[in-house]
A and B are shown apart, each in its own frame.
Chain A
Amino acid sequence: MQALFILVPLVLVVLLNLPFKQAYRKTAFYAAVFTAVFQMVLSLTSGFLLWKNITDLFSFNFIANLGVDFFSLVVLFTIGLISLISIAVCRSSYDKDKFNFFNLILIVMMGMNGVVLTRDIFSLYVFLEITAVTSFILIAMDKGIEAFEGAFKYLVLSALATIFILSAIAFTFNAVHSLSYTDISSYLKGLGGHFPPQIIAALVLFITGLSIKAGVVPFHGWLPDAYMSSPSAVSILLAGIVTKVAGVYTIMRFAGDIMNNITIVSNILMAFGALSIVIGALAAIGQKDFKRILAYSSISQIGYIILATGAGTPLAFAGALLHFFNHATFKSLLFVNSAAVEYSTGTRDIDKLGGLAGKMPVTGVTSIIGFLSTMGMPPMAGFWSKLIIIIAVWTSGNYTYSVIALLASILTLAYFLILQRKVFFGKLAEGLRNVKEAGALMSFSAILLALITVAAGLAFPFIIYYLQAHGLLKLVIS
């Protein structure tokens, strides 16, 4: 079944680009939507036996070392969801080369699915590269100076990350003589806490490389420019899922699963996480650009996930996973809102905006839901995951980090109140008298994501009960 996540988009990309493509250029949108929905359905229904038997017919045994567990299924579902939103926003807001955009989305989905499914560090590197290369192209699609600057910064730092990760793989292979996750995990367990220098070098290089990919402070230099300068649909994809899969998912997988929460790695991760939470939030307060505020806010929120991953208890991991999903939905929602505002008014400068809530009711209301969820207001989904993270970090004995995480929520409140006040409330700004909603697909995306955010928050006790009943709070390699 797992191979389908990679092969279906691949087949579609090839089909879309057969020589006589002019005849069916328009179908690219439907192909992309089909892939995203298919991925969501496949990841949701993988538990049902009949469906599993059907999809297992396509098991493609030649592709070994793929694996799937609850953690990967959640991430795969999120990839499908955010890609769907990005496709919808592209359809309604991007007026240039949509055909290539949809193809690139299919390719970046393949890359991310590969990262999630593989159980071999070298294949992981290959798929990380696919994701990164496609992201450069997507960021640079507008071809302005800003776009190239954003893409170039990402390119340079990502190349650095690649070097680190590749060196770490070489060191690991030299010591373990195998590349599979399970072998590395059992090798590290067998060491019993005494690590030879090359393993320590590998750990440090790996964590650094992945932190660059995740945009964690102090490696966040590329992130605001990349998010800000790319087309709206791409920002949603990048902020919602690409950096999360390439950086955060891999860190979670490695720190928790493979490195078995080694103390030194935990300490590094918690320090990075706390730094990101505070610096991301402080930097967001001073910004004037809608998307830039959201970008810094992403750094801050990803800090929570990294902090919980560092804390390392099963509860913290559950919190990290929930925040992973929640952040993907509410941050994508806010990026959809920023796309709608930019599309309708032509600017993202919050000083030039104001009073839009009356003119764009859907955007206004959904953005409030997104903001409330980000700052952790009950009963939104973001409240529960932050609560679990803070409790888990506290019970793991790291009181300082827990207090930092709690207090930083106030900073979140501050920058979002400023944003909300300047963009949606107050007097209607000049020249915005004729502003309308940005189109049906954009509103649909915003409403869908807002519904998920609210529903996940309201149904949260059931979700946590379900997870506990099925023993899914403890995440292990299958």
Chain B
Amino acid sequence: MKEILILILLFGLVGSALLSVLIRNLLKAAITLAAASALLAAVMFLLGTWIAAVIELSVCAGMITVVFISAISLTKPLTDEEILIEARERRGRYIFLPFILIAVLALLIILKASNLMNFDFIESANSTSVPDFTTQTSVIWNNRALDILGQVIVLLSGVFGVVVLFKERTAK
């Protein structure tokens, strides 16, 4: 049962990720992106990687969305008419996507229910649902000082990216 729940959540994740790319309204796109992050956090939680789930939920679903929305609130939205025209054009182009998603999901659930396909990879992850800080977990969670240093550097380069690419434009 848990596998099917995870499958549904994963497809919800793909669906909201697609929506966040396809929607023209930035605000709604940011919210669907947050929903995708939240769903991912739920999947991680079900699979027993609690720390990752908490970080995903707080940083990606929480903080980044706040940043996005505060940035978007500074922009000027399209008029309703423009949105309508855009929406009509795009609906024709992407109308088939949800059907494909639902069809694949249904197929996988049927395969699971009739035991035709092996879902070992999910079960093996389930078996470690209580974090034991032995070999595998310790490789991922401990001894990561270098990566934290790397993360600091990534943040620095992100800051410079924003300064270099966006600062001058607002001055104009």
Contacts and interface: CB of A to CB of B under 8 A. Distances in A.
Interface stretch (A132-140, A306-314, A441-449): A132-140
A178 interface: yes
A121 to B, nearest CB: 11
A114 B146 contact: yes
Interface of B: 135-136, 139, 143, 145-147, 149-154, 156-158, 160-161, 163-165, 168-169
A120 interface: yes
A123 B165 contact: no
A283 interface: no
Contact of B164 (A65, A110, A141): A141
A100 B160 contact: yes
Given A104-B164, A177-B139, A123 B156 contact: no
A49 B168 CA distance: 49
Nearest to A106: B156
A150 to B, nearest CB: 14
B147 A123 contact: yes
Interface in A305-330: none
Nearest to A148: B165
Given A64-B145, A100-B163, A136-B161, A107 B156 contact: yes
17 contacts: A10-B149, A64-B146, A65-B146, A100-B164, A114-B146, A120-B146, A126-B146, A126-B154, A129-B150, A134-B157, A136-B161, A137-B157, A137-B160, A140-B165, A143-B168, A177-B136, A178-B135
A349 B157 CA distance: 33
B120 to A, nearest CB: 12
A63 interface: yes
Nearest to B162: A137
Contacts of A13: 156
A6 B151 CA distance: 13
B150 A10 contact: no
A127 B150 contact: yes
Given A130-B154, A173-B139, 6 more contacts: A64-B143, A107-B157, A126-B154, A133-B158, A141-B164, A143-B168
Interface in A73-93: none
Nearest to B165: A140
A462 interface: no
Contacts of A457: none
Contacts of B150: 114, 123, 126-127, 129-130
Nearest to B142: A64
A179 B139 contact: yes
Nearest to A131: B157
B136 to A, nearest CB: 5
A126 B145 CA distance: 12
A100 B166 CA distance: 13
A136 B165 CA distance: 10
Contacts of B156: 13, 107
Interface of A: 6, 10, 13, 62-66, 97, 100, 103-104, 107-108, 110-111, 114, 118, 120, 122-123, 126-127, 129-130, 133-134, 136-137, 140-141, 143, 173, 177-179
Interface residues of A: mostly helix, strand, loop or mixed? helix
A16 to B, nearest CB: 11
B110 to A, nearest CB: 25
Contact of A97 (B149, B151, B161, B164): B164
Nearest to A103: B160
Contact of A66 (B146, B147, B157, B158): B146
Contacts of A110: 153
B145 A122 contact: no
A230 B93 CA distance: 35
Contacts of A63: 145-146, 149
A117 B142 CA distance: 19
A126 B139 contact: no
Contacts of A177: 135-136, 139
Contacts of A111: 153, 157
A129 B143 contact: no
B154 A129 contact: yes
A140 B150 CA distance: 23
A141 B164 CA distance: 7
B157 A126 contact: no
Contacts of A66: 146
A127 B146 CA distance: 10
A51 B143 CA distance: 28
Nearest to A126: B150
Contacts of B152: 10
Contacts of A120: 146
Contacts of A129: 150, 154
Contact of B157 (A6, A114, A118, A130): A130
Nearest to B121: A174
Given A64-B143, A137-B165, A10 B160 contact: no
Contacts of A137: 157, 160-161, 164-165
A178 B139 contact: yes
A143 B169 CA distance: 10
Contact of B143 (A65, A140, A143): A65
Contacts of A100: 160, 163-164
A62 B145 contact: yes
Contacts of A173: 139
A104 B150 CA distance: 15
A133 B165 CA distance: 13
Contacts of A134: 157, 160
B139 to A, nearest CB: 6
Contacts of B168: 97, 143
Most buried by A among B136, B146, B154: B146
A118 B139 contact: no
Given A104-B157, A104-B160, A137-B160, A126 B165 contact: no
A11 to B, nearest CB: 12
| 4 cross-chain pairs, A with B, having the tightest CB-CB distances, nearest first | A126-B150, A137-B161, A134-B157, A123-B146
